A = this chain, B = another copy of it.
Amino acid sequence: MTMSPVITLTTDFGLSDGYVASVKGVILNINPKAVIVDISHSVESQNIVQAAFILSTVYSYFPNGTIHIVIVDPGVGSQRKAIILKTQAAYFLAPDNGVLSYIIDELSPLPASPSIPVSLRAELRKVTEGFEAVAITNAAFWRQPVSATFHGRDIFAPVAAHLSMGISIIQFGEPIDSLHVLPVSQPYHDSAGNLTGQILHIDSFGNLITNIRNSDLSLPEIIVDIKKRRIHGIHRFYAETEGLSAIMGSSGYLEIALSDGSAAMFLKAKAGDEVKLVGRHENIQDNFT
């Protein structure tokens, strides 16, 4: 993998204080040629799941070798590890708290099962093929003094900047072979045979992004049930329909949208709410048999 000078930032810092700018200043101090791109700084405070999802829908559009810093870090200063994960596509710097769950799950998936307990506790998963990871322990690359509450500025930023200058990840700490992963929710077939998923994310248009993949939507006559409403058929784009509609979304997942409005407000929907694909389910590609 070639190194890229692009460094992205995904945080829950907001943009009103100077926290994000401090991180950028530290990076530019070390590598003046770094190209820094904001992914989002509006992740809800400490919402690891939301940050994990946003990152997963964006990282693949960046140049190979891009360095993605993700700082949603309620455990900052505690014993939680700070890690670098290197995949075929990119480098990820983050606390080892599950914020890279979608990235890791794509590379090292658990067998999907309807019985996965939904839990917010990240569990250790053994890393197998296709990636390399280190715990960031070599303080030689850190900004001193290291504050107890702002590792983004004092650890992640200088490590990312040095990494972008070509230093090998093994220089930054000890190799590790297990990472914390949140259970990534997968749609499953309920007892009636319907494919049952959930809302993963609500975007700023109020579109509901579900965990049902576009590739599960082969049938035009599909019926979607959500919040006691029924939607018939899948539309290709927003202007094609009026009212509530089911769309093959640009992130690769089924979306529920409202023309000229927010589906989330209209349906009073929130992340975690159930979505069902009803009928003709015998033809739906089934991952669980």
Contacts and interface: CB of A to CB of B under 8 A. Distances in A.
Interface of A: 4-6, 8, 10, 13-19, 21-22, 24-26, 28-29, 32, 35-43, 45-46, 54-55, 57-59, 61-63, 66, 74-78, 80, 147-150, 153-154, 201, 203-205, 236-240, 247-250, 255, 260
A35 B38 contact: no
Contact of A25 (B17, B19, B43, B62): B62
Nearest to A237: B77
B240 A78 contact: yes
B237 A63 contact: no
Contacts of A24: 37
Most buried by B among A5, A58, A80, A248: A58
Given A5-B32, A149-B249, A153-B250, A78 B239 contact: yes
Given A236-B77, A237-B76, A247-B149, A61 B17 contact: no
B57 A18 contact: yes
Most buried by B among A22, A80, A149, A237: A149
Which 9 pairs show the lowest CB-CB distances between chains A and B?
A77-B237, A150-B250, A14-B204, A25-B61, A18-B58, A16-B42, A25-B62, A147-B250, A148-B237
B238 A74 contact: yes
A61 B63 CA distance: 27
Contacts of A240: 77-78
A38 B21 contact: yes
A25 B19 CA distance: 23
Given A29-B62, A37-B24, A63-B28, A203 B149 contact: no
A28 B4 CA distance: 10
Contacts of A32: 4-6, 35, 63
B29 A63 contact: yes
Contacts of A248: 147-149
